[in-house]
Amino acid sequence: MAMFSRFKKDEVGAASAAATLAKVTQATPAPAVKPTAGMAPAPRVQATAAPKPAAQAVAMDKDRKRRDRLGDIKLELHKRLLDSLNLAALETATEASLRAEIAAIASEALDEMNIVLNKDDRVTVNQELYDEVMGLGPLEPLLKDETVNDILVNGPQRIFVERNGKLELTDITFKDERHLLRIIDKIVSAVGRRVDESNPYVDARLADGSRFNAMVPPVAVDGSLVSIRKFKKEKLAIADLVKFGAFTEEMAAYLQAAVATRLNIIVSGGTGSGKTTTLNALSSFIANDERILTIEDTAELQLQQVHVGRMESRPANVEGKGAVTQRDCLRNALRMRPDRIIVGETRGEEVIDMLQAMNTGHDGSMTTIHANSARDGVSRLENMVAMAGIEMPIKAVRSQIAAAVNLIVQASRLQDGSRRMVSITEITGMEGDVISMQEVFRYERLGMEPSGKIIGRFNATGVRSHYSDRFKQWGYNLPADIFDPIP
Ligand SMILES: Nc1ncnc2c1ncn2[C@@H]1O[C@H](COP(=O)(O)OP(=O)(O)OP(=O)(O)O)[C@@H](O)[C@H]1O
Ligand SMILES: [Mg+2]
């Protein structure tokens, strides 16, 4: 063990090898969770819901036992690793030397425990040890997996992922709640936060930009709940979204005109429906010489323009001090001479300032809201105004909204997992007490394939855009026939 000794502590407690050996070889019972059908064929994935022939079941059982045994060995190795690694040196260690060091300590420990692993198992164990020490343990392979959008942990034994809009149960588990808590703690302490019984939930951004939320027991009843929205460096661009069928080229041309001519736009949708992705893609239509300020609770947007100022709100610290709300950011942003303001999601009192900004010279501003239709979105805005404690007659609130918001695009995740812009609706003014709006494009559902895939098409509704003249004046000559419905 002389090599790589700079990562080793001076004193190594190498005792009790024999005592721990007995524990290690005892297999723990497998989690009572069965993965569902339709899971990706990764080697780690265990089973499908279909009944299995006996031979296959035995093979699966063996595989599970093997993994359980490996899990126990790993746990013991991990303990020893933490005992013998000089954690302070880890920060400066190169990946290669650290991996070599981990492999060396592991192999020494395995020798002491009289355990022989085949090469594949050794590689697996070393990788998982590396992930435990340097990364987020069992979550690490999921974080690296490009096909995974969301990671959802319901207690130590149930980890779900979202791929292609569908939730799947994985066969990845934490050893127990303490293991899970340790990883949560590692994440939140890295960003200077704390989570425990008295602060049972936390929102944070991982080093790679992923959005992270955790809630721990006793508020989380059956074990800690974690959700991670993975950060994609390569954001989906307009062309990708058109290719994936999120909307059509005609709709894209319309949206380009809308953004370029500075309409105020709200992207509405349910959770995970693609609001932020849509907002980000729409922002690409903003000219490069405009000064854009973005305000988010968790910085997710990635604008391509040169002149972008990004702000992130901040919750209060443990003593209840130091909070900077989205509203604070927004108010300050208005003094920073922006051409456009983009608020990642309007969900509270900042709605007042957002509407005011949209009404007073910061046209071309954009935000998202959580709502199921354009009409519903408007009611959400009304509610937010009311909740912010503004005493204003409903008609006045509505005229504010009607004057501020020009366009609502509705994003939706359909049953088959596809994400589509199911409606583009223009706000045209007030009729009496009611905000008048007209749908210009919509997604028409026509049926369903036996596989569950939804059959449908995008169509124009046949109404002429309320903003046609504006588009023309600004030099966007959209072909008239994009507003003609397909029969
Ligand atoms: N049209 C699309 N096709 C495929 N994947 C998409 C599409 N739109 C969004 N996604 C993916 O879906 C995930 C969720 O998207 P996004 O973060 O934009 O949703 P959201 O509505 O903002 O969610 P939240 O409500 O949690 O803020 C992301 O991983 C994103 O890359
Ligand atoms: Mg979002």
pLDDT tens per residue, the chain (487 residues)?
A: 444 444 555 443 444 444 433 333 333 344 444 444 444 444 443 434 445 566 777 777 777 777 777 778 887 888 787 777 766 666 677 888 888 888 888 888 889 888 888 888 888 888 888 888 878 889 999 999 999 999 999 999 999 999 988 999 999 999 889 889 989 998 888 877 888 888 899 988 888 889 999 999 999 999 999 999 998 888 899 999 999 999 999 999 999 999 999 999 999 999 999 999 999 999 999 999 999 999 999 899 999 999 999 999 988 877 788 999 999 999 999 999 999 999 999 999 999 999 999 988 778 999 999 999 999 999 999 999 999 988 889 999 999 999 999 999 999 999 999 999 999 999 999 999 999 999 999 999 999 999 999 999 999 999 999 999 999 999 999 998 999 999 8
Number of H helices, E strands in the chain: 15, 15
pLDDT at 133: 80
pLDDT at 81: 79
Q: Which protein residue's CA is at the shortest distance from atom 23 of ligand 1?
A: 272
d(CA 10, CA 384): 60
Note the helical H segments in 113-237: 119-134, 140-144, 177-190
C-beta of 148 in contact with ligand 1 (< 6 A) = no
d(CA 421, CA 36): 29
pLDDT at 46: 40
**Strand order through the sheet with 366-370:** 308-312, 292-296, 340-343, 366-370, 265-269, 407-413, 419-431, 434-448, 454-460
**Cα–Cα separations (whole angstroms), residue 386 to 269, 303, 350, 393, 408:** 21, 32, 12, 10, 21
pLDDT at 149: 93
* Total-model pTM: 0.79
d(CA 24, CA 69): 7
Phi, psi of 340, rounded to the nearest 5 degrees: -140, 150
What residues pair up with 412 in beta bridges, in sequence order? 420
Of 381, 383, 323, 377, whose CA–CA distance to 356 is shortest?
381
Q: Are 130 and 141 in contact (CB under 8 A)?
A: no
C-beta of 422 in contact with ligand 1 (< 6 A) = no
Q: Separation of 277 CA from ligand 2 center, angstroms?
A: 7
Q: Which ligand does the CA of 149 lie closest to?
A: 1
Q: Separation of 272 CA from ligand 1 center, angstroms?
A: 5
C-beta of 69 in contact with ligand 1 (< 6 A) = no
Of 422, 411, 428, 410, whose CA–CA distance to 465 is shortest?
428
DSSP secondary structure string for all residues of 121-134: HHHHHHHHHHHHHH
Q: Separation of 32 CA from ligand 2 center, angstroms?
A: 33
C-beta of 268 in contact with ligand 1 (< 6 A) = no
C-beta of 269 in contact with ligand 1 (< 6 A) = yes
Residue 168: strand, helix, or coil: strand
Q: Which protein residue's CA is at the shortest distance from atom 11 of ligand 1?
A: 274
Ligand 1 test: best mutation among 147, 211, 213, 276, most atoms within 8 Å of CB? 276
d(CA 376, CA 270): 11
